[in-house]
Amino acid sequence: FRGYCSRRQRRLRKTLNFKMGNRHKFTGKKVTEDLLTDNRYLLLVLMDAERAWSYAMQLKQEANTEPRKRFHLLSRLRKAVKHAEELERLCESNRVDAKTKLEAQAYTAYLSGMLRFEHQEWKAAIEAFNKCKTIYEKLASAFTEEQAVLYNQRVEEISPNIRYCAYNIGDQSAINELMQMRLRSGGTEGLLAEKLEALITQTRAKQAATMSEVEWRGRAVPVKIDRVRIFLLGLADNEAAIAQAESEETKERLFESMLSECRDAIQAVREELKPDQKQRDYTLDGESGKVSNLQYLHSYLTYIKLSTAIRRNENMAKGLQKALLQQQPDDDSKRSPRPQDLIRLYDIILQNLVELLQLPGLEEDRAFQKEIGLRTLVFKAYRCFFIAQSYVLVKKWSEALVLYDRVLKYADEVNSDSGAFKNSLKDLPDVQELITQVRSEKCSLQAAAILDASDSHQTETSSQVKDNKPLVERFETFCLDPSLVTKQANLVHFPPGFQPIPCKPLFFDLALNHVAFPPLEDKLEQKTKSGLTGYIKGIFGFRS
């Protein structure tokens, strides 16, 4: 915003030709009444004040880690008040209407009050804030409802500062009004936010000096740790604030604040328990089963933390249930809640209940054990109910029906055993309402299962192909296969598989083994008997 004010002021000076010299030399100019023929000259002074105020708010955030910047913060606030007074002086001209004059006076009073607030000059600050509030209330009553909304909004922003100043002056009743303002959806903002938290802590610290012990489940425990005293004193106020909170965001913020304070108190008790680590049993005077006062106080704070966490998750579950009932089936703008989200919340609640049963010092408390057991049954019933709802969404009818029967079983156990614990269980969800809802859901489930079964029987012959068989192997069954009309139709197996076929016959000549040749012994013998004489006869042709 500070950068925006600088850029806006530069544009105005350029448009109005109201330049402060040139590049080489600065020549200061002031807006005078003679220049008020154009109302944009008033914006120049207003942008100066707004820029100084925004810089002060920036330094306010940085001063948390760098305390030296507080001096710069006060300097910028003084500069903002100076520019606001200059604006008010210019608006006293006859050229300015009455409405602008009043707004300038209220603006100057507000910035002056902020400066006095930071200086802790409470009387001067409350006078300035009251003047600003009175002007805005008069303006709101003099104009239309649309314009009055803006003025009333400014009055609401100033009221916490007035109450804070009144408390510091000595008005003790102002703290109650500040606590009520804290319950609003946005809480307090600006300079007052952290001051109000510090004020509440300071007030509880003063009251903590008179607190010596706390009683829980019939046993009085002394409280000597200041941080624990402050937390226990503010416990009732925090619970009342949560009960009176109007919006879910405010409740969530108060739950987180309460849990944070409880964790700090538990940590303080743990630090006191460290010297006693050698005595793990923490027994007193040799009495077995009875823990020390410090350990019992730790159990009490842990009980508060777990109970608060259960209430927070239960509150979130109620919000999700409402959103689940009101959701539109065609609304895709944002992620809609699902039964699985509620199942997760109830799982966390059941885990917290298991931790409650394990608190030291409560092992022999049968009433406590029985009460936690009944609470566990109630939340188990709701968890089973939403598990069944998730099965219904995926059309697993038999599983959902079994879970609905389990819900009725848990609910009947709660009704039969909760006679003596009705007062302590009145903050739990209504089991009778759950039973009625389960019975109606069972009827709807059975009807949906019958309709689904009939639909599946009718479409059995026209079911789609899921076994990837080609068309040539399923001529006997009609099936809808959209792939048959595409370029990748599954008609036959291609390439086809190998099949055994008869080979081409081979002919072998085996008759030669059975042929009987004529004897040649006579020729073989004659050849062997002829010698040199036969050879000579053969030469001369006398061979017979």
Question: 363 is written with which tokens?
Answer: 């092992």
Give the closest residue to 216 by CA, choosing from 430, 361, 338, 58. Answer: 361
Query: If DSSP codes are grouped into helix, strand and coil, which group holds residue 382?
Result: helix
Q: What is the pLDDT of residue 190?
A: 46
Question: 201 is written with which tokens?
Answer: 């802590």
Rounded CA gap, 200 and 175, in Å? 8
Residue 397 near residue 447, CB atoms below 8 Å = no
- Count of C-beta atoms within a 10 Å radius of residue 437: 13
Residue 70 near residue 63, CB atoms below 8 Å = yes
Residue 191 pLDDT class (50, 70, 90 cuts): very low
Which among 145-154, 230-239, 301-310 has the top mean pLDDT? Answer: 301-310
Separation in Å, CA 517 to CA 45, 509, 510, 522, 525: 143, 17, 16, 14, 18
Rounded CA gap, 448 and 404, in Å? 15
Cis amide bond preceding 360, omega within 30? no
For residue range 464-515, list pLDDT tens digits in order. 555 678 888 888 777 777 778 888 888 888 888 888 888 887 777 777 778 8
Task: Give yes or no for residue 182 having a pLDDT over 60.
Answer: no
Give the closest residue to 384 by CA, choosing from 348, 415, 346. Answer: 346
Task: Give yes or no for residue 385 having a pLDDT over 80.
Answer: yes
Query: Would you say the C-alpha torsion 256, 257, 260, 265 has a positive or negative sign?
Result: negative
For residue range 425-434, list pLDDT tens digits in order. 667 777 888 8
How high does pLDDT run on average in the chain?
77
Q: What is the pLDDT of residue 351?
A: 92
Alpha-helical (H) ranges within 327-394 are 339-357, 366-393
Looking at the DSSP bridge assignments, the partners of residue 284 are 287
